[in-house]
Amino acid sequence: MTPESFAHLTLAFGLLGNVVSFMVFLSPLPTFIKVYKKKSTEGFQSVPYVVGLFSAMLWIYYALLKTDCMLLITINSIGCFIQSCYICFFIFYAPKKARIESLKLIVLMIVVGFGLIVTLTWFLANGAGRVVIVGWICLVFALCVFMAPLGVVRQVIKTKSVEYMPVLLSAALTLNAITWFFYGLLLHDFNIAIPNILGVTFGVLQMILYFVYKNKKPVISDEKISELEAKKVETEEQKTSETRDQEIIDVVKLSALMCSIPVVTRSNDNTNDICHDRLAVEPPPVPVVAHTIEVAA
């Protein structure tokens, strides 16, 4: 293979990686559309987006030090912008407690963490040594990120359900890892290639688990049972409350009906009340009969 064709192949994998990574960055959009409609973040967390922003900033710093990884700079710059939008959107609609926790995480990872990495590597190392140190930091952090799906894999095996493992996202992440693996391999940059080996491995594992368990009957976990029981209790309490309210309404209707019966008078009382405990009804008038007495002449 000629050096020119080799460079074209590297460029092709880099461009493909940019396209796939861009689609992966857009994958949380349905979540934020749901948040916008409900005007609430509900149970969602900002951790994935803060971690994604930190990772993108770290790779940009590494690519700037390397000087020959322009495609890493382009896609991670787009990633920084998208993740920042997600974080701002989350903070705007999150309740006060979640908003404070998100701000603490941003300060810890972005301001303190990334700031320390840049400051220490810039002043305590130089030249090739700085590139090696930052490369190892990127490698270790990427490995930690790629190990995150282990929790999903464990849950799928335990529940025998693929409910929480979207197959399209798993396929996109696998394809993304494959493209960046070959890009790093062709560049002879093992800081890029090695973490994506783990990404490909876990991606393929998720795809296999999906096809193994997609038609299996899911096992209801203890948390699911507790949730169903809580919903059942809540439904019964709601029904009881509705029944009690209906009884009160019936009593009020009955009282209103009783009070609507006309009353003529009340004995020894001249008040204008309609409903009384003791009522006296006037007896009907006795007809007067005229008697004629005949007198003999």
Give the residue among 233, 245, 175, 163 at the shortest CA–CA distance from 204. Answer: 175
In single-letter form, the type of residue at position 87 comes to: I
Q: Residue 59 and residue 145: Cα distance in Å, rounded?
A: 13
What pLDDT is recorded for position 113? 92
Bridge partners of 269?
A: 266
Q: Residue 42 and residue 98: Cα distance in Å, rounded?
A: 10
Query: C-alpha angle 41/106/114, rounded to 5°?
Result: 150
CA atoms within 13 A on the CB side of 13: 21
What pLDDT is recorded for position 242? 64
Confidence of residue 263 (pLDDT cuts 50, 70, 90): very low
The counts of H helices and E strands in the chain are 11, 0
Other Cβ atoms within 10 Å of 59 Cβ, number? 24
What pLDDT is recorded for position 57? 94
What tokens were used for 66?
Answer: 């390397």
Confidence of residue 276 (pLDDT cuts 50, 70, 90): very low
Sequence-distant contacts of 155-158: CB under 8 A, at least 24 apart: 156/206, 156/209, 156/210, 156/213, 157/209, 158/219, 158/221
pTM attached to this predicted model:
0.68
What pLDDT is recorded for position 98? 86
Q: Residue 249 and residue 241: Cα distance in Å, rounded?
A: 12
Instruction: Answer left, alpha or beta for residue 121, where phi above 0 means left and psi between -120 and 50 means alpha.
Output: alpha
Place of tokens 């409609």: 37
280 in Cβ contact with 266 (< 8 Å): yes
Q: What is the CA radius of gyration of the chain?
A: 38
CA atoms within 13 A on the CB side of 134: 29
Length of the chain equals 297
What pLDDT is recorded for position 33? 87
Confidence of residue 204 (pLDDT cuts 50, 70, 90): confident
Residue 59 scores a pLDDT above 90: yes
240-250, pLDDT tens digit by residue? 666 665 656 55
User: Which residues are CB-contacts of 265 (< 8 A; sequence separation ≥ 6)?
Assistant: 280, 281, 282
219 in Cβ contact with 160 (< 8 Å): yes
Residue 40 scores a pLDDT above 80: yes
Residue 233 scores a pLDDT above 80: no
Q: What is the DSSP letter of 281?
A: P
Q: What Cα–Cα distance (Å) separates residue 261 from each residue in 250, 255, 276?
A: 17, 10, 11
Residue 222 scores a pLDDT above 60: no
Bridge partners of 47?
A: none
Q: What is the mean pLDDT of residues 11-34?
A: 88
Q: What is the mean pLDDT of residues 155-169?
A: 75
